[in-house]
Chains A and B, each alone.
Chain A
Amino acid sequence: MIELENMAYSYGGGELLSGISLKLAPGSFHFLTGPSGAGKTTFLRLCYGDLTATSGTVRLFGRDVRDLTRDQIALLRRKIGTVHQDCQFLDHLPLYENIALPLTVSGHSEWTDEANLKELMQWVGLGSRARALPPELSGGERQRAALARAIIMSPDVILADEPTGNVDWEMSQRLLTLLVELNRLGKTVVIATHDLALIRAAKSQVQARVLRIANRKLQLAGADL
């Protein structure tokens, strides 16, 4: 699905990631941890083709990213749902249209009306906020909306970058539960977080592999987690 082979990434003259190899198996659940600035976000961006590795290989669904045009990467990205810490919405569109954006851009505008999205919005607890504009939402609501948008195309992989970064503990538990539910439906989930408590809480719900980025390398995290 997503495969990294001896991958390295340099930025501004310095190497940020080096010698990284990883294969995300279908239906697996990964946590990616490490200190701030270690390269977690960069790692995720490399995983969905937003950045190109300086050396080594990144394969998305069996295809080397370097051989793909930007439009081909865009098509593959429809199979990868992403949740960002800053969520990234279109502020002029109501929430339900933001959530339906992946459908809109892939030519399925006929499914994007509010009624069709009702179930999904209720599932993430935003049933009553469909017509709110993104700036009117709280941090937790934005994170849940980002999650709803990430899964609306029923992607094979969900990459979440600090999905609980702006929310309280209760809300982070709700978001985690949603991601675990998706994993039980067969989705591959990768969560980048520095919140070790969240990882510990997840261990009781899901069989997760915990990876750590430290000193530019990707390592399997120790038992202290």
Chain B
Amino acid sequence: MKALKTALALLVGDAQSDRVVPPTGHTVRLTLFSAGAMAFLAVFALALSMATGRLASLWGDELARSSTIRISAPEAQVADQTAAALKVLETTPGVASARALTTEEQQQLLEPWFGNGLSLDGLPVPQLIEVVEKGDGFDAEGLRLRLQAEVPGATLDDHTRWRRPLVKAARSLRLLGALSLILIGGTMAAMITLAATAALAANSQVIRVLRLVGAQDSYIAGAFVRRFTLRALIGGAAGTAVGMIAVALLPSAQPEGGFLTGLGFEGWHWLWPLLIPPLGAVVAFVATREAAMRTLRGLR
């Protein structure tokens, strides 16, 4: 509680006391630019993190709920084997529904590779059956054995083989995004510390005069802390605004575009970047206060 009060007193201050530190154009520009650039990068790291989070959940949950059975058989047997497979699925526990894809649907699936207007009549395309799970899902190994016995041309693909590495990759990317955010925060803290230390060193005479007239270290630190916190907040707000505009201008999510076109925020997730400027200000507050108190301890 006391620490909170001290922090608030440091932040609030008053206009008169802020004037005791002379304006220094160089550190103003440096801090504003650093905070702005870091906030801009943070918006992208956040967008990356959230987009990969969405993908991981899509691949992890939605795809895990569906499987595909492929019927590869001589043309005359395809219909019979499809019907047999559907019958097996009807009596398989954990299967919510199963249906054979229509020729049009199979055509659509091949369109990205073969283009529009492809006729499947002359092609040996296997028949696909979409299986949707329920509850805890079905026993994939048991179903495979039954299909092997009753529908020789059927192959069950429960997506596990390719889903796992994708989910792993998406989760790694998400972690990378979060790590980037932490690194951005750390880099910003380092830059602000350097700028604050430089400003304090350049104002050693001011500090001497302030001490001479009875200023306590917390007062002197406060004057610097408020200045750098405000700059970080302004720079962060500008960088965040530009970053959000840039993300908004990215192509919107398209099934054809895959992951890259889905990089952005959806719905209320657009509120997340608004946390960046205040968080940047908190980083600046802590970094400047530490730098100021350390420097003041070292100055006689």
Which of A7-15, A84-92, A169-177, A213-221 touches B?
Answer: A84-92
> Does A74 sit within 8 A of B, measured CB to CB?
yes
Report the bound CA distance from A84 to B16 in whole Å: 24
| From A84, A97, A106, A109, contact of B214 by CB (8 A) | A106
Taking CB atoms, residues of chain A closer than 8 Å to B218 are 71
Inter-subunit contact A89/B209 (CB<8 Å): yes
Would A109 and B16 be within 8 Å (CB), given that A77-B213, A77-B214, A102-B213 are in contact?
Answer: yes
* Residue pair B217, A105 in contact (C-beta under 8 Å): no
Residues of A within 8 A of B15 (CB): 109
Residues facing A in B6-47 (CB within 8 A) are: 14-17, 19-20, 22-23
Query: In the assembled complex, how far is the CB of residue B26 from the closest CB belonging to chain A, in whole angstroms?
Result: 15
Residue in B16, B23, B210 with the greatest tally of chain A CB atoms within 10 Å: B16
Nearest chain B residue, comparing its CB with the CB of A76: B214
Given A71-B217, A82-B212, A88-B212, also A109-B17 (CB < 8 A): yes
Complex alpha-carbon distance, A96 and B266, angstroms: 56
B213 / chain A contacts, CB cutoff of 8 Å? 77-78, 101-102, 105, 149
| Contact call A74/B215, Cβ cutoff below 8 A | yes
Say yes or no: A102 contacts B208, CB within 8 Å.
Answer: no
Instruction: Write the chain A residue with the least CB distance to B23.
Output: A92
Q: Is B219 interfacial (CB 8 A cutoff)?
A: yes
Interface residues of B in 205-227 (CB under 8 A from A): 205-206, 208-219
In the complex, which residues of chain A have a beta carbon less than 8 angstroms from the beta carbon of B214? 74-75, 77-78, 102, 105-106, 153
Would you give the 0/1 interface string for B218-244, flagging 1 where the beta carbon is closer than 8 Å to chain A? Answer: 110000000000000000000000000
* Contacting pair B216 A71 (CB below 8 A): yes
Query: How close is A99's CB to chain B, nearest CB, in angstroms?
Result: 10
Q: A88-B208, A101-B209, A105-B210 are in contact. Are A74 and B216 (CB under 8 A)?
A: yes
In the assembled complex, the Cα of A113 lies from the Cα of B32 at a distance in Å of 31
Q: Provide the residues of chain A in CB contact with B20, threshold 8 Å.
A: 90, 93, 101, 104-105
Chain A residues, CB < 8 A from B219: 105
Please tell me if the beta carbons of B22 and A105 are within 8 angstroms of each other in the complex. no
Contact residues of B: prevailing secondary structure: helix
**In the complex, how many angstroms separate the beta carbon of B224 from the nearest chain A beta carbon?**
14
Task: Output the least CB separation between B150 and chain A (Å).
Answer: 86
* CB under 8 Å from chain B, chain A span 48-83: 50, 70-71, 74-75, 77-78, 82
Q: A112 interface residue, CB < 8 Å from B?
A: yes
* Residue in A84, A89, A101, A106 whose Cβ sees the most chain B Cβ within 10 Å: A101
Interface size class of A (residues with CB under 8 A): 20 to 34
**How many B residues have CB within 8 A of the partner chain?**
22
> Which chain B residues border A112 with CB–CB below 8 Å?
16
Residue of A70, A71, A74, A106 ringed by the most chain B CB atoms within 10 A: A74
Whether A92 pairs with B22 at a CB distance below 8 angstroms is yes
Q: Is the CB of A105 within 8 A of B14?
A: no
Q: B13: shortest Cβ distance to chain A, in Å?
A: 10
Q: What is the bound-complex CA distance between A145 and B215, given in angstroms?
A: 19
**Is the CB–CB distance between B215 and A105 below 8 Å?**
yes
**Complex: chain B residue closest to A74, CB-CB:** B216
**A106-B214 Cα distance, complex, nearest whole Å:** 7
Closest residue of B by beta carbon distance from A71: B216
User: Chain B residues near A70 (CB, 8 Å)?
Assistant: 211, 216-217
Q: How far is the CA of A47 from the CA of B82 in the complex (A)?
A: 102
Q: Which residues of A contact B210 (CB under 8 A)?
A: 101, 105
Q: With A and B bound together, what is the CA distance between A117 and B19 in angstroms?
A: 18
* Least distance between B245 CB and chain A CB atoms (Å): 37
A142 to B40 Cα, complex, angstroms: 49
With A and B bound together, what is the CA distance between A127 and B49 in angstroms? Answer: 63
Give chain B residues whose Cβ lies under 8 Å from the Cβ of A77: 211-214
Complex alpha-carbon distance, A75 and B216, angstroms: 7
In whole angstroms, what is the CA distance A74 to B219 when docked?
Answer: 11
Decide yes or no: A104 and B17 within 8 Å by CB, A74-B211, A88-B208 being known contacts: yes
One digit per residue, 1 when the CB lies within 8 angstroms of any chain A CB and 0 when it does not, for chain B 127-158 equals 00000000000000000000000000000000
Report chain B residues within 8 Å CB of A75: 214, 216
Measured between beta carbons, the chain A residues less than 8 angstroms from B216 are 70-71, 74-75, 105
From the candidates A82, A90, A104, name the one contacting B22 in the complex (CB within 8 A): A90
| A91-B22, A92-B23 given; 7 more Cβ-contact pairs under 8 Å | A71-B216, A77-B212, A77-B213, A88-B208, A88-B212, A97-B19, A105-B20
28 inter-chain pairs at a CB distance below 8 angstroms, sorted by A residue, are A50-B212, A70-B217, A71-B217, A74-B214, A74-B217, A77-B212, A77-B214, A82-B212, A88-B209, A89-B209, A90-B209, A91-B22, A92-B22, A97-B16, A101-B20, A101-B209, A101-B213, A102-B213, A102-B214, A105-B213, A105-B214, A105-B216, A106-B214, A109-B14, A109-B15, A109-B16, A112-B16, A149-B213
* Interchain residue pairs A-B with the least CB separation, the first 4: A105-B215, A78-B214, A109-B16, A92-B22
